[in-house]
Amino acid sequence: MEGGAVVARARAALGVPFRLHGRDGAGLDCVGLAAHALRLEAPSGYPLRGGEPALVRARLDALLHPVEGPPVAGDLLMMRTGPGQLYLGIWTGAGLVHADAGLRRVAERPGAPPWPVLGCWRR
C-alpha cells in the first residue's frame, strides 16, 4: 500500500471521536486508527497505559516492515507519551494523524511529534 493511501485513510478519520478500543466511525483509539489506516486487524483488551515496547515492537515487526532512518508519509510511528504509555500515529510527511484522548477525537498535528519515537514501520 502506498504511503499516500495510508495518509488519506488516516485523514478520512479526522474528527472521529476518541474511544478506548474503538474500531469504527463511532470511535477510535491510536491502535484502531493505525489498523484503519494500514488495513490491519487490531488487537483488543489492552490497557490505556502500560505495554512493553519490545512486545509491541515484535508484534509490529511481524505485520509491517521496520524502518531505520527518517519516516516517510504513511509510516506508522510508535512513541512514548509518558511513563508506561505507548502511542501510535500515522506520519503524513509534515505532521502526525493520531487519536488524541485530550481533544477527544482524531486530529492532525503539524511538525515533528512532541514525544520520543521508539520505532517506525512501513506497509
pLDDT at 84 over 90: no
Q: What residue type is assigned to position 23 of the chain? A: R
**pLDDT for residue 11 is more than 80:** yes
Burial of residue 28 (number of CB atoms within 10 Å: 0-12, 13-18, 19+): buried
Region 112-120: mean pLDDT is: 96
So what's the pLDDT on residue 17?
97
Q: Where are the domains of the chain?
A: 3-122
Span 91-115, average pLDDT: 97
Whether 46 shows a pLDDT value over 90: the answer reads: no
d(CA 30, CA 10): 11
* C-alpha cell read off for 58: 515484535
Percentage of residues of the chain with pLDDT beyond 70: 93
What is the pTM for the complete model shown?
0.93
> In whole angstroms, what is the distance from residue 119 CA to residue 77 CA?
6
**pLDDT number for residue 43:** 77
Given 3.40.50.170, 3.40.50.850, 1.10.3720.10, 3.90.1720.10, which CATH number is that of 3-122?
3.90.1720.10
Burial class of 65 by CB neighbour count within 10 A (0 to 12, 13 to 18, 19+): exposed
Residues 6+ apart with CB under 8 A from 20: 29, 48
- Report, in angstroms and rounded to the nearest whole number, the Rg of the chain calculated over CA atoms: 13
Q: What is the pLDDT of residue 47?
A: 63
